[in-house]
């Protein structure tokens, strides 16, 4: 929230509602003395004055406080536990701890019960400023080696600790002012985590939980969590026979099964035609290149930890590609370019490989080999903003086609305090950031600025996509790059007859096909739009007597993806339920009445029984649905 100044006297106690009213702000509460006080409380003001905060900001404080309450409960139940760290995260919190006995999921109930007891005690939370030396002595006496390690790395001479009852923790805060405010929480799961993310260090137990201000909010979250489990793309991927991951092949490497491949092909065909219609040229590039290419591009300096190890062939070093951009640069450089050709737009569905640690791999969402819907635009500086606007139009159009209307847009720029992480001069960075923000403003799109989130070679527009459960996922990204053209000495002949350096725009609309596919599975809960569904129609003859008529129906629908169910020995109800489980959009039931009338009985997977209709009526209906790319 915007900062607000108000006259308060340190050491005096005020009703928080009065302070908020006097400041004329819409705030949930205040922070003073490193503690959160809600609007319904009274607070004694510290020397630091008061800071007004929103409900969203206060929720993060509450969740961080809940992580401390959980750690206190664990130490009470499991003496000898060593504390790691316990931050608030997007949907809750976690705490990493070294627990001598270890934990099982069954222990979460006991820990929750102890948290409830501590909450009911309404233990006051106190913030204390200490010298680093005093803090080290304190945590050494408490046998907390991880805290001592953290203190040694903190800059400055002082640190802060928070106490609640007998529990004490190293923390910057802020926290709620008493444990009684932490009421509506739920522990969710446990997992392993290496201390400081280093696989050579101690393996700790990580406990995840969530917390809200009200019971209704908690119940809604838990309902959405159950729904997310039902929609989980890994579960549905197996149920619908879409993809698999085989440990003999390697973690994070995807096998696309026939059903998944059909959906992928339809999306790819649509993607290719859309790009051709928008002036792109399709290209294909190799999966490996000599190491020298990645030295020139800067990837070896700024991206090496995410790349697979090199291969030695005929006294030459090769690397599998983590990105497609240097290849597109080389295609550009195969001949002399003129300003009359610009902008040049190369597009590729290029498979790339990035080393992700096994602990963060997650179905199709986090993999080691994936296909980017990649494109690079080479243009003059004065063309950048217009080209970015066109990319934005394509990106927003594609996501809305698939039913994603709620988008969150971020302009990712450099961290002004840590410019060494990036390549390129200040002037080109400022020009690139200005072009991106200008394009967003020209399209009247709301966006936030994310400092420090830029790629090492340039700023970016990152679009987050909200799914049916209210979760946001990384979607399209648009990056302006003045650096690769300079590194690769790219040129074009300008209208003045002189050589000029082009600007390179990196962009991906779907991001990766794997992640986009996972997003679609969970968005639709497996009920794919008819135009991409691997099986569009299933014909169900009730008995063998209707088989000949059912075959003629299948023949009449051969332009679609149709399956004839020949399992007439099983009951019709069972076969319909099987079709529902397999998420078949349309089932045509054929019995003696249908044969006699020359019609089919139509069942829609989600809408249910649509009644009888002629085959021509049915064909006309689904043709229109496919052509309009209708989604439920």
| Cβ contact 372:352 at 8 Å | yes
| Cβ contact 467:224 at 8 Å | no
| Cβ contact 187:108 at 8 Å | yes
Rounded CA separation 445/439 (Å): 9
| Cβ contact 8:42 at 8 Å | no
| Cβ contact 174:60 at 8 Å | no
CB atoms within 10 A of CB 409: 19
CB atoms within 10 A of CB 146: 21
Q: Is 376 annotated as a binding residue?
A: yes
CB atoms within 10 A of CB 315: 5
Helix (H) or strand (E) holding 153: helix 145-153
Rounded CA separation 93/60 (Å): 9
DSSP summary character for residue 205: E
Closest listed residue to residue 42, CA positions, set 90, 8, 67, 1: 8
Cα first-last separation, the chain: 38
Strand order in the sheet with 448-451: 281-282, 344-353, 369-379, 503-512, 472-481, 460-466, 407-413, 448-451
Q: Cβ neighbours of residue 362 under 8 Å, at least 6 residues apart? A: none
Q: Is 506 annotated as a binding residue?
A: yes
Instruction: Tell me: cis bond preceding 261? Omega within 30 of 0 counts.
Output: no
Rounded CA separation 480/458 (Å): 6
Instruction: Tell me: cis bond preceding 76? Omega within 30 of 0 counts.
Output: no
- Calculate Rg over the CA atoms of the chain: 30
| Cβ contact 195:205 at 8 Å | no
Q: Are strands 369-379 and 503-512 parallel, antiparallel or unpaired?
A: antiparallel
Beta bridge partners of 602: 588, 611
User: Would you call 192 exposed, middle or buried from its count of C-beta atoms within 10 A (0-12, 13-18, 19+)?
Assistant: exposed
Tokens of 283: 């290209």
Q: Are strands 243-245 and 311-313 parallel, antiparallel or unpaired?
A: unpaired
Tokens of 101: 């006995």
Q: Is 379 annotated as a binding residue?
A: no
Beta bridge partners of 437: none
| Cβ contact 103:205 at 8 Å | yes
Closest listed residue to residue 299, CA positions, set 481, 427, 508: 481
Q: Which amino acids are annotated as binding site for Zn(2+), given as ranges?
A: 325, 376, 506
Q: Which residues are annotated as a binding site?
A: 325, 376, 506
């Amino acid at each position: 929230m915007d900062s607000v100044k108000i006259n308060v006297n340190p050491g005096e106690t005020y009703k928080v509602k009065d302070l908020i009213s006097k400041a004329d702000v819409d705030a949930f509460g205040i922070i003073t003395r490193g503690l959160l006080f809600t609007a319904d409380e009274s607070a004694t003001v510290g020397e630091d004055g008061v800071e007004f905060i929103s409900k969203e900001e206060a929720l993060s404080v509450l969740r961080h406080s809940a992580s401390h309450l959980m750690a206190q409960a664990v130490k009470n139940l499991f003496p000898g536990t060593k504390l790691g760290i316990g931050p608030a995260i997007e949907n809750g919190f976690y705490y990493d701890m070294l627990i001598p006995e270890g934990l099982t999921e069954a222990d979460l109930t006991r820990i929750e019960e102890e948290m409830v007891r501590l909450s009911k005690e309404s233990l006051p939370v106190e913030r204390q400023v200490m010298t680093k030396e005093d803090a080290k002595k304190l945590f050494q006496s408490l046998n907390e080696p991880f805290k001592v390690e953290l203190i040694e790395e903190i800059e400055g001479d002082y640190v802060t600790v928070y106490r609640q009852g007998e529990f004490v923790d190293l923390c910057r805060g802020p926290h709620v002012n008493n444990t009684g405010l932490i009421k509506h929480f739920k522990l969710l799961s446990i997992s392993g985590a290496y201390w400081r993310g280093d696989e050579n260090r101690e393996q700790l137990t990580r406990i995840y939980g969530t917390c809200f201000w009200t019971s209704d909010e908690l119940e809604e979250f838990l309902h959405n969590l159950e729904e997310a489990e039902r929609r989980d793309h890994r579960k549905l991927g197996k149920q619908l026979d879409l993809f698999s991951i085989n440990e003999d092949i390697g973690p994070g490497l995807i096998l696309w099964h026939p059903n998944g491949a059909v959906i992928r092909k339809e999306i790819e065909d649509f993607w290719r035609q859309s790009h051709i219609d928008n002036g792109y040229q399709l290209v294909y590039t190799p999966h490996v290149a000599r190491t020298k290419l990645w030295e020139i591009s800067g990837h070896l300096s700024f991206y090496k930890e995410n790349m697979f190890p090199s291969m030695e062939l005929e006294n030459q070093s090769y690397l599998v590609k983590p990105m497609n951009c240097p290849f597109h640069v080389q295609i550009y450089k195969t001949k002399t370019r003129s300003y009359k050709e610009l902008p040049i737009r190369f597009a590729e569905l290029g498979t790339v490989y990035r080393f992700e640690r096994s602990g963060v791999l997650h179905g199709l969402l986090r993999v080691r080999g994936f296909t980017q819907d990649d494109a690079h635009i080479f243009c003059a500086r004065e063309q950048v903003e217009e080209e970015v606007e066109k990319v934005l139009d394509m990106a927003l159009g594609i996501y809305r086609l698939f039913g994603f209307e709620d988008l969150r847009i971020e302009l990712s720029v450099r961290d002004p305090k840590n410019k060494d992480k990036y390549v390129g001069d200040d002037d080109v960075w400022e020009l690139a950031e200005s072009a991106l923000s200008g394009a967003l403003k020209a399209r009247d799109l709301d966006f936030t600025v994310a400092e420090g989130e830029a790629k090492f070679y340039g700023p970016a527009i990152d679009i987050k996509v909200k799914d049916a459960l209210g979760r946001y996922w990384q979607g399209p990204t648009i990056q302006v790059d003045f650096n690769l053209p300079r590194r690769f000495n790219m040129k074009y002949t300008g209208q003045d007859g002189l050589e000029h350096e082009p600007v390179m725009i990196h962009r991906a609309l779907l991001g990766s096909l794997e992640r986009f596919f996972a997003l679609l599975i969970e968005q639709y809960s497996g009920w794919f739009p008819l135009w991409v569904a691997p099986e569009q129609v299933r014909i169900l003859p009730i008995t063998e007597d209707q088989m000949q008529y059912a075959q003629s129906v299948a023949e009449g629908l051969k332009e679609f993806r149709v399956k004839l169910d020949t399992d007439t020995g099983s009951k019709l109800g069972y076969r319909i339920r099987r079709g529902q489980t397999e998420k078949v959009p349309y089932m045509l039931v054929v019995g003696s009445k249908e044969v006699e009338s020359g019609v089919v009985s139509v069942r829609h997977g989600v809408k249910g029984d649509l009644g009888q209709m002629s085959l021509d009526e049915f064909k006309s209906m689904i043709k229109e649905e496919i052509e309009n790319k209708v989604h439920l």
